[in-house]
């Protein structure tokens, strides 16, 4: 199985590095399951000072990332390989969820552009971007945090990334429900007891309890999922 390749385009590449080298993301790289390549947009600027932004036409506050550095960077990468998706992370995109993470985990080459400032020139979105993704209805200072969320959610789905191969399959949202309540030792702590069925050793009853509890939890906390 070949590794999934991620190319991250960012104006603040240092904000990606530390997280990509920890936890599951580090393990995924060490096992040759994923490759992470970070591209500093300032390196592609034709401005002698490395500037990549300018004021928007029509006025208004904020600055926009210009076409030139993004077009040059993406086109250079596209000359080297085909990309399954070129993603722009934006609050205006489709909402990222487990189903989308599952879909993207089957891809081979994924590029993710992180915005900054007020956003990016619309011509980048019209000409180069194949998918726009949002991690929620709120605004951040840049797209690096959503980029890391997407990379993490995809990486943990790759067979071999997690120590327990079944762990990801039982996560919340994998089957449209929230995960059932989880307990560990001791069986009793300060008078609070683990449900007896979980210590019974009866796997059939345990599964039935987990399924029932997951549905009850979803009905209580996220009834919208059941619709």
pLDDT tops 70 at residue 166: no
Backbone φ and ψ for 166, nearest 5 degrees, come out as -90, -10
Q: Which fold has domain 172-226?
A: 1.10.1270
The separation between CA 60 and the C-alpha centre of its own chain, rounded to angstroms, equals 31
pLDDT in tens, 115-149: 998 899 999 999 999 999 999 999 999 999 999 99
Asked if residue 24 lies in contact with residue 16, where contact means CB atoms within 8 angstroms, the answer is no
Residue 60: the pLDDT is: 87
Q: Which fold has domain 4-155?
A: Alpha/beta knot (3.40.1280)
Domain definitions of the chain by residue range: 4-155, 172-226
Residue 227: the pLDDT is: 82
Mean pLDDT value across residues 6-26: 97
Residue 154: the pLDDT is: 98
Structure tokens at 88: 């722009």
The separation between CA 133 and the C-alpha centre of its own chain, rounded to angstroms, equals 9
Residue 121: the pLDDT is: 97
Residues 6 or more apart whose CB falls under 8 angstroms from that of 173 comprise: 97, 98, 99, 225
Distance CA 33, CA 6 (A): 11
Q: Is 227 helix (H, G, I), strand (E, B) or coil?
A: coil
pTM over 0.75: yes
CB < 8 Å & 24+ apart, contacts of 217-224: 217/177, 217/178, 217/179, 217/180, 217/181, 218/177, 218/178, 221/178, 222/178
Q: How confident is the model at residue 173 (pLDDT cuts 50, 70, 90)?
A: low
Residue holding tokens 């034709």? 46
CB < 8 Å & 24+ apart, contacts of 90-93: 90/115, 90/119, 90/132, 90/133, 90/134, 90/143, 91/134, 91/136, 91/137, 91/138, 91/139, 92/132, 92/134, 93/131, 93/132, 93/133, 93/134
4-155 and 172-226 in the same fold: no
pLDDT tops 90 at residue 171: no
pLDDT in tens, 42-85: 999 999 999 999 999 999 889 999 999 999 999 999 999 999 99
Compute the mean pLDDT over every residue in the chain, rounded to the nearest whole number: 94
């Amino acid at each position: 199985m070949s590794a999934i390749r991620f190319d991250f385009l960012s104006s603040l590449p240092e904000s990606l590095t530390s997280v990509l080298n920890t936890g599951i993301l580090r393990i995924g790289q060490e096992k040759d399951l994923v490759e992470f390549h970070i591209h500093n947009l300032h390196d592609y600027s034709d401005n002698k000072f490395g500037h990549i932004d300018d004021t928007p036409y029509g006025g208004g506050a904020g600055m926009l990332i210009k076409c030139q550095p993004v077009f040059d960077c993406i086109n250079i990468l596209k000359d080297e390989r085909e990309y399954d998706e070129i993603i722009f992370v934006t609050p205006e995109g489709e909402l990222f969820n487990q189903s989308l993470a599952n879909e993207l985990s089957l891809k081979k080459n994924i590029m993710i552009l992180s915005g900054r400032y007020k956003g990016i020139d619309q011509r980048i979105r019209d000409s180069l971007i194949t998918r726009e993704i949002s991690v929620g209805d709120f605004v951040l200072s840049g797209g690096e945090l959503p980029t890391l969320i997407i990379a993490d959610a995809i990486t943990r789905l790759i067979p071999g990334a997690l120590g327990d191969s079944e762990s990801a399959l039982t996560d919340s949202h994998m089957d449209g429900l929230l995960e059932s309540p989880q307990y560990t030792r001791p069986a009793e702590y300060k008078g609070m007891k683990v449900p007896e069925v979980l210590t019974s050793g009866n796997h059939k009853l345990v599964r039935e309890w987990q399924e029932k509890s997951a549905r009850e939890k979803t009905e209580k906390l996220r009834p919208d999922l059941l619709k």
